[in-house]
Amino acid sequence: MSAAEERRRAVLRAIVADYIASQEPVGSKALVERHGLKVSPATIRNDMSVLESEGYIEQTHASSGRIPTEAGYRAFVDALHDVKPLSSAERHAILDFLENGVDMEDVLRRSVTLLAQLTNQAAVVQLPTLNVSRVKHCEVVALSPTRLLLVLITDAGRVDQRNVELDAPIDDDGVRALRELLNDVLVGVTMREAAQQLAALAARAPEAIAPAVERATAVLIDTLVETTSDRLLIAGAGNLILAGELHTVIAALEEQVVVLKLLASAQELEQVSVRIGRENEDEELSRASIVTTAYGAGAEALGGLGVVGPTHMDYPGTIQKVATVASYISRILRGE
């Protein structure tokens, strides 16, 4: 890369950094004064003209300074080789706050609240999906002689409850037998892996409880295998109102389906993905930038975590905070 090209890269980085800080168009004189570029404002204006012709910056009107385009933000993010680490005090505060969670869902709820506060953006986290987390235990509770409560607990700490209505009463012995049959099939596998055995379970159950087994397995298959049961926790959506003109993004967050699809694509641990503006396939998110990563107890991702905000977000800070919070969630899941 020539000296002129290297200088233009530095000018672009400076424009993006200044615009993120102020949300005001950036002029050549201000760049020279703030960043010590050691060339004249006229040289910087020439560099800005080249960057504009290349599509990295634009003018809001003829006499204004420049602002970054989506291509400019992308070039800025791609050039972030080193992201400033959080201080030891910040890391300790994050870990201390998360470790006080009473269960997995509480840890994730704390995580998304903390991330929204740290970034001043909207934060989202996907609860562990049943497609990858494995069943730890299935409890069966008799609410009445003809009504059961199934409580499914996974190794990731997720808890799902389902009611089962029976045609005939079931006694305590029947409840215990049903519990044993379900756990024999479910424990140690995912719901999707257990689907075939669940479907065949009633055929090999004792005749006295076969109808109850059939009802219970049908509920589990219909609601936890065939129908998606992913859930999303959101915090800080109000921050997007302050960012201005992101009402469609807020609507997408409320809809959840679009964001769940996005988080589901975050499958690599310790890999942070940044999507800027129209890089997001869904129209509702075409005015936003989204920083996502995955968390998990081992080598496999259990869910996605991310931040949604305007394209002028603080990319270095946001990337580091998303990565740090996801890393600490994974550590807590591993019991470290």
Q: What is the pLDDT of residue 46?
A: 92
Within 13 Å and on the Cβ side, how many CA atoms surround 299?
0
Cα separation of 224 and 150, whole Å? 12
Q: What is the pLDDT of residue 56?
A: 93
Cα separation of 244 and 241, whole Å? 5
Using alpha carbons, select from 332, 331, 336, 329 the residue that is nearest to residue 304. 329
- Domain 88-129+230-333 indexed as CATH 3.30.450.40: yes
Q: What is the pLDDT of residue 112?
A: 92
Cα separation of 234 and 295, whole Å? 16
Q: Find where tokens 């990337």 sit.
A: 319
Within 13 Å and on the Cβ side, how many CA atoms surround 22?
15
Measured in degrees and rounded to the nearest 5, phi and psi for residue 235 equal -145, 150
Asked if 287 contacts 246 with a C-beta cutoff of 8 angstroms, the reply is yes
Residues 6+ apart with CB under 8 A from 299: 269
Instruction: Confirm whether 3-78 and 88-129+230-333 share one CATH topology.
Output: no
| Domain range annotation of the chain | 3-78, 88-129+230-333, 135-226
Q: What six digits make up the tokens of 75?
A: 């070039």
Residues 6+ apart with CB under 8 A from 223: 162, 229
Measured in degrees and rounded to the nearest 5, phi and psi for residue 261 equal -60, -40
How many other C-beta atoms can be found within 10 angstroms of the C-beta atom of residue 220? 26
Tell me which amino acid residue 195 is.
A
Cα separation of 12 and 16, whole Å? 6
pLDDT of the chain along its 336 residues, tens only?
Answer: 688 888 899 899 999 999 999 889 988 888 888 888 788 888 988 989 999 999 999 987 766 788 999 999 999 999 887 677 788 888 888 888 888 887 778 888 899 999 999 999 999 998 876 666 788 899 999 999 999 999 988 877 778 888 999 999 999 999 999 999 999 999 988 877 888 888 888 888 899 999 999 999 998 888 777 555 567 888 888 888 765 656 777 777 777 777 777 777 777 788 899 999 999 888 878 888 999 998 887 777 788 899 998 899 999 999 999 999 999 888 887 776
Measured in degrees and rounded to the nearest 5, phi and psi for residue 53 equal -65, -25
Write the CATH number of the domain with boundaries 135-226: 3.30.390.60
Compute the C-alpha angle 34/39/44, nearest 5°: 75
The residues pairing with 149 across neighbouring beta strands, listed in sequence order, are 141, 163
Q: What is the pLDDT of residue 227?
A: 58
Tell me which amino acid residue 152 is.
L
The second-level CATH assignment, the architecture, of 3-78 is: Orthogonal Bundle (1.10)
Measured in degrees and rounded to the nearest 5, phi and psi for residue 196 equal -65, -40
Q: What is the pLDDT of residue 99?
A: 83
Tell me which amino acid residue 217 is.
T
Cα separation of 215 and 210, whole Å? 9
Residues 6+ apart with CB under 8 A from 38: none
Cα separation of 236 and 322, whole Å? 14
Asked if 31 contacts 12 with a C-beta cutoff of 8 angstroms, the reply is no
